[in-house]
Structures are given as structure tokens and as C-alpha cells.
Amino acid sequence: MDNPLVMKLEQFRRLPDEDRRLLEDLTSGRQQRLGAREDVIREGEHSPDIHIVMSGLACRYKILANGGRQIMAFLVPGDPCDAEIFILKAMDHSIGTLAPSVIAAIPGETMQELLLSRPGIALAFWWNTLQDEGVLRERIIDVGRRDAYSRIAFLIYEILLRLRAVGVVGDTGFDFPVTQTDLADATGLTPVHVNRMLQRLREEGLIVAEGRRWTVTDPAGLRRAAEYEASYLHLDRAKDEPESEVGRRLKGLI
């Protein structure tokens, strides 16, 4: 139990017990343990399996012509990496770990059967894709319109929210094992400037970061700094049912 994929998909809609069991079985089948900074799948490749992050932290990224790296999304436990790989001939971006992680592999055919036979699961996966799209759109605003300060605040706040929703965050803090260079690659800033903005967030008492352990000391303040609007995550059920799992986990944040 406490399977992160189940938790992730249930952010949208409660699943019947049988669906849960199916998902748990699938994700506990083949798992690979990766260190930090290893690739799950590379741009241009095609994999017969689809991958799910079970623990740790990964990201979608692309290496640019000039050698730079753009991180387009963080993947937290429960996030499917490439649920749609069997539709496309090749990945148009790479997926790599940022921290030591456990990645589950589900055969593409199994996945297809699952999507065809269990409409509830198919719906949940589709919804997940839409949430991903929402996150991407928000990141465009982030990169295009917000200044460096809000951008960093935004990124941290979103990660806090998503980690909370999937249940791997205590009240006080959370593990977010990224370097400032990683943050720079995700925000389109330079590491130097990321450093300065983090200092400002700390000076203002919004966050504490010691090593890989982050603590958001003033969630409301951080949210203000980020100019945050949570609607795009479509955590509707959670908001509407404050008694639900996810609702409790996100209390006071959205």
C-alpha cells in the first residue's frame, strides 16, 4: 500500500480496489534502481516499457545545440514518465534522475491492455496527461513573464505542493536533492543568479535549505512571492472533499 502511482492517480478520482491492486502489482513487478544523474530513457529512443517514478526525483530534459540543458519538468514519485511511448516512434526529450531513484517498468502491451480493459485507469492516465500539460503551460508563463525571484519561488512552491499531494512531505520539510545548477536549468537562469534569489528567499524567512533538505517556513509568504494560482493542477476533487486523503494532505496550500 501507499503505492505512489495509486496515490497519484487517485488525486483525480478514487479507484476501485481491483484497479488499485492491478496497479500495485504492475509497479512492483520489474523495478530498476538508478543512481543520481542517470538516464531513464533518452531522446530519440524507443522503449518497449513505460516507466513510473516510484521514489527519488527525475526530470524531463533536453540537451540544446549549445550544450546547455533545459529541464522542462520535474517528476516526483507516482509520475509516469512516458505512458504514451507506444503511440510515438521515439521520445522527443530525455528523462533522467536527479537523485537516486527507483523506477518501475511496465511492458507496453500490458499497459495497452490495461487502458482498454479498465476505463477508470485510462481516464486517470488521461487526466494525468492533462495535468502535465497544465504544468507545462504554467511553466511557460513562469519562464516568459515572471522575474527571477518569483520564478524560483514558484518552482519551489509547486514542488512542495506536488510532493505533498503524493504524500512524501512531512509538515516541516522535504527532501529535494537538486543542485542550484539543476534549478538554473529548470528556470532558464544562471546558477549564480539562482543562488542570489535563494539567498533572498532565505533572508525573507520563506525557506530554509540545509543540504538536500528543504523546509518551507512560510508557505503563505512563498506563495505570495510566487504569485501562485493552483487551479491548473486540477486537484478539484481534493478541494471539494476536504475529508479526502489528498484534501488533508494539501490543507492550507491551495
Residues that bind its own copies (CB under 8 A): 43-44, 60, 62, 64-65, 68, 70, 72, 84, 87-90, 92-93, 123, 126-127, 129-130, 132-134, 136-137, 139-141, 143-145, 187-188, 227, 229, 231-232, 234, 236
- Count the residues in the chain: 254
Could you tell which of its own copies, DNA, none binds residue 114, using a CB distance below 5 to 8 A set by kind? Answer: none
Residue among 3 and 180 whose Cβ is closer to DNA: 180
Determine how many CB atoms are found less than 10 A away from the CB of residue 12.
22
Could you tell which of DNA, its own copies, none binds residue 147, using a CB distance below 5 to 8 A set by kind? Answer: DNA
Could you tell which of its own copies, DNA, none binds residue 31, using a CB distance below 5 to 8 A set by kind? Answer: none
Angle at 165 between CA 94 and CA 141, to 5 degrees: 55
Could you tell which of DNA, its own copies, none binds residue 208, using a CB distance below 5 to 8 A set by kind? Answer: none
In this structure, are residues 86 and 114 in contact, taking their beta carbons and an 8 Å threshold?
Answer: no
- Chain residues in the site for DNA (CB under 7 A): 147-149, 179-181, 188-193, 195-196, 198-199, 211
Dihedral angle sign, alpha carbons of residues 125, 131, 136, 139: negative
CB of 99 to DNA, least distance (A): 11
Burial 190-225 (b: 16+ CB within 10 A, else e): eeebbeebbeebeeeebbebeeeebebeebebbbeb
